[in-house]
Amino acid sequence: MSAATTSHPLLRVDRLTKHFPVRGGLPGRRQVVQAVDDVSFEVWAGETLGIVGESGCGKSTTARLLMHLVRPDSGTIAFDGKTLGSAMSRRDLHRQMQMVFQDSYSSLNPRLPAAVSIAFGPLVHGVAKPAALGRAADLLQAVGLDPVVFANRYPHELSGGQRQRINVARALALEPRLVILDEAVSALDKSIEAQVLNLLLDLKDRFDLTYVFISHDLNVVRFISDRVMVMYLGKVVELGPVNWIYRQPRHPYTRALLSAMPSMNPRRRTMAAPLFGDPPNPINPPSGCRFRTRCPYAEAICAALQPELAEMPGEDGRAIACHIHRPGSGHSRATQAGLAA
């Protein structure tokens, strides 16, 4: 991975914020969904960054913001050192960064055969038609579909797994360096999911790709990611190398999330759920720490002050947004070196 030697990250996201206004409601009381609120992170060339969280945590909005499919309210995105909007146009960005969506059917044009769907991007970007279709055939081969059989098939003639392979091929058609996979394997059966995950690993090696892998499935994220970012109600609560996050989760939410996973051991079943109730509404989230309403360790400081994401020394860049892990924060547990890992 040659690009990894450069000193700046492939993608740098700084204080990204997106609030959606809620239509309707009482007049005079404007409400907003704080979908993504002050989110900063970096993606290094050659790595896979996994983003996990429950519904409404802002992981898909983050993906759409990265692709500029929705415009951020504030914050900047820099790709390879070039800030989007000033040093880089959206069109240039899309040559470098592509996305695969969850619903393999609705993300393909039903009236285009597979090869044309794949060739569409290169055609728009000025590649001659025979060359674009030739590249489409190569990509079909690369994703494990015989071009002779599949080039002229329409989306409705394909299975879910095959359609998702077409979507992956289409995302690779412009030879991007970074691919965002937003719940890309979530709708597939387990046996097909395994095939597509293998394909993603192969393609990453072959084309020197960097992935941002978004999923609600904690097992899949653990399998594919190098680093993991945990989100809760529009905020990053914990970020770090996959083994630190999964073996020694530190943020109370990450701990609850991981212990809510089914145990997979019939002799050691889960006896009590770690959290009660559903995630709160992202409209008007709680003050201070957004997790405090469900957190077993919440204290006055948690309601008063929003914890900043702070890096833990000596933990390979792991960062946590929790008063317990910030000495001198005023939380009674903060003096005891945080939650014992």
Partner 1 sequence: MALAPASDNASTSPVVSVEDLHVLFTTPDAVVHAVNGVSFALEAGSVLGILGESGSGKTVTLRALIRLLPAQRCRVEGRVTVAGHEITSLSETALRDVRGTKIAMIFQEPMVALDPVFTIGEQIAETIVRHEGAAHAAAWRRARDLLEMVQIPSATRRLKSFPHELSGGMRQRAMIALALSCRPAVLLADEPTTALDVTVQIQIIVLLRQLQRELGMAVVFVTHDVGVAVEVADRLAVMYAGRFVETGPTETVIERPAHPYTAALLTSTVLGAVSGHRLEAITGTPPDVSLLPMGCSFAPRCRFAVDACCAATPPEFVLEPGHSTRCHRVAAGEIQLTRPGLVERASA
Binding to partner 1 (CB under 8 A) within 153-182 occurs at 159, 161
Closest among 67, 72, 282, 104 to 183, alpha carbons compared: 104
| Run of H or E residues at 50 | strand 48-52
142 scored as a contact of partner 1 (CB under 8 A) = no
Could you tell me the smallest distance in angstroms from the CB atom of residue 274 to partner 1? 7
Whether 172 and 157 have beta carbons less than 8 Å apart is answered as no
Nearer to partner 1, 55 or 335 (CB): 55
Count of CB atoms situated within 10 Å of the CB of 303: 14
Establish if 312 lies at the interface with partner 1 (CB under 8 A): no
End-to-end CA distance of the chain: 33
Strands (DSSP E) along 74-156, which ranges? Answer: 74-79, 82-83, 97-100
Per-residue mark of binding to partner 1, 49-78 (x: CB under 8 A):
-----xx-----------------------
Query: Which listed residue (27, 130, 277, 328) binds partner 1 by CB under 8 A?
Result: 277
Query: Dihedral of the CA atoms 313, 222, 183, 8 (nearest 10)?
Result: 40
Q: Does 274 bind partner 1 (CB under 8 A)?
A: yes
Binders of partner 1 among residues 279 to 298 (CB under 8 A) are: 279
Question: What is the signed CA dihedral for 167, 171, 175, 177, rounded to 10 degrees?
Answer: -130
Which one of 23-31, 76-84, 167-175, 243-251 is the stretch in contact with partner 1 (CB under 8 A)?
A: 243-251
338: its two tokens: 């945080």
Cβ-based nearer residue to partner 1, 47 or 80:
47
Contact 198, 35 (CB under 8 A): no
Which helix (H) or strand (E) covers residue 52, if one does? strand 48-52
Closest distance of CB 74 from partner 1, Å: 28
258 binds partner 1 (CB under 8 A): yes
Q: Does 27 bind partner 1 (CB under 8 A)?
A: no
**Where in 185-224 is the site for partner 1 (CB under 8 A)?**
189-195, 197-198, 201-202, 216, 218-220, 222-224
Footprint on this chain of partner 1 (rule: CB under 8 A): 54-55, 159, 161, 189-195, 197-198, 201-202, 216, 218-220, 222-225, 242, 246-249, 255-267, 269-279
